[in-house]
Amino acid sequence: MNHNNKHRWPLAVALTTTLGAGGSAAAATLDDVRGQDRVRCGVNAAQPGFSALDASDTYRGLDTDVCRAVAAAVLGDAAKVHFVPLDSVERFTALQSGEVDVLSRTTTWTSTRDTTLGVNFTGISYYDGQAFLVASDLGVQSALELDGAAVCTQSGTTSELNLADYFRANGMTYEAVVFDSPEQSINGFEAGRCDVLSSDASQLHAQRMQLGDPDSAVVLPEIISKEPLGPAVRQGDDQWFNIVKWSLFAMINAEEMGITSANVDERLDSDNPDIARLLGRDGNYGEAMGLEADWAYRIVKQVGNYGEVFERNVGAGSDFGIERGQNALWTDGGLHYAPPVR
């Protein structure tokens, strides 16, 4: 008896600790966010269109609006976000160590990151990929006309590799002009060192704006690689994972149903059962996530649907004018498809 007890104690302690840790981790994030009355969101310090500081000291961009949506759903106020600028090395550490609750920092979803870093990607907020920027007076309409071109890229990136693959696959030749940083490569392009600049599409649009005359260059429609960008959360807290995942889905669903921040109040009384379920008029689909019934209503009302967010930050309503392309809804030939709320 005594002997047994001696053995059982450490086991019991170990078990309690494990359970305790598991239990607290599972519920911690939502409680912590509610307790502190703010969502801590890791963002890029300077990525035009995705998260950049504007003149009124606010972070603006597509990535930051994803965090605002989470804050609107959880706290009822899209402004209750505490943005933490992170560089690309420390972003995952900051998420793992609990310094941020959501990481929404132009992070490409890859298998390695998803499986080895202790983080979970909750969805795809932007389908990015490598594209080409050419001078508009070249008259090039498609990347397939670029045979023999001099192409500026950045060294040590996957862009270099993708470029080689793409040109070989299409039986074309090119001459690589390699630079170290985005600034250098756009300066090289402007100085005429190359005919084409190749990088991720989101970055190309920002680089184009840095030209003396942005209209002198165009981004070609071809996308030659997959760079799905999305928000990520810590592993081990499924409730929080669901909240972030469905905040993004709610925005995409709202666009599909034609609900915008302007008409969401009228749509509250809609007869469409899908809309009634999304906006919390029929059933309470937020309860299982620990949220109120009107969680999605608050997102759309305060932040907008996905289309609004896209147009405002990177699309036609912004300085970049990026086409929806792959980022259109599945109903419009794009890739954004959200599971239904029911």
List interacting residues with other proteins (CB under 8 A). 25, 28, 32, 45-49, 52-55, 57, 82-87, 89-90, 93-94, 96-99, 183, 206, 209-212, 318-320
For 108, which DSSP code? B
Distance between CA 223 and CA 131 in Å, rounded? 5
Kindly tell me which of 106 and 327 has the beta carbon lying closer to other proteins: 106
Complex with other proteins: residue 96 or 261, whichever CB lies closer: 96
CB of 233 to other proteins, least distance (A): 14
Q: CB nearer to other proteins: give 106 or 247.
A: 106
Could you tell me the CA-to-CA distances from 207 to 30, 39, 86, 144, 218 in Å, in that order?
38, 31, 21, 22, 11
Closer of 28 and 251 to other proteins (Cβ): 28
Closest separation in Å from C-beta 287 to other proteins = 26
Min. distance of Cβ 208 from other proteins in angstroms? 9
Q: Which is nearer to other proteins, 66 or 84 (CB)?
A: 84
User: Of 186, 144, 196, which Cα lies nearest the Cα of 166?
Assistant: 144
DSSP letter, residue 47: B
Rounded CA gap, 79 and 94, in Å? 22
Interacting residues of 93 by C-beta distance below 8 A, sequence separation 6+:
99
Measured from the CB of residue 50, what is the shortest distance to other proteins in angstroms? 9
Shortest distance in whole angstroms from residue 299 CB to other proteins: 24
- Tell me 98's DSSP state: T
**Do the beta carbons of residue 57 and residue 280 sit within 8 Å?**
no
* Closer Cβ to other proteins, 14 or 46, answer by number: 46
Contact 291, 74 (CB under 8 A): yes
Decide: helix, strand or coil at residue 265.
Answer: helix
Nearer to other proteins, 207 or 253 (CB): 207
Give min distance, CB of 47 to other proteins, in A: 6
Cβ contact 250:259 at 8 Å? no
CB of 98 to other proteins, least distance (A): 5
Name every residue whose Cβ is closer than 8 Å to that of residue 223 and which is 6 or more positions away in sequence. 129, 130, 131, 201, 325, 326
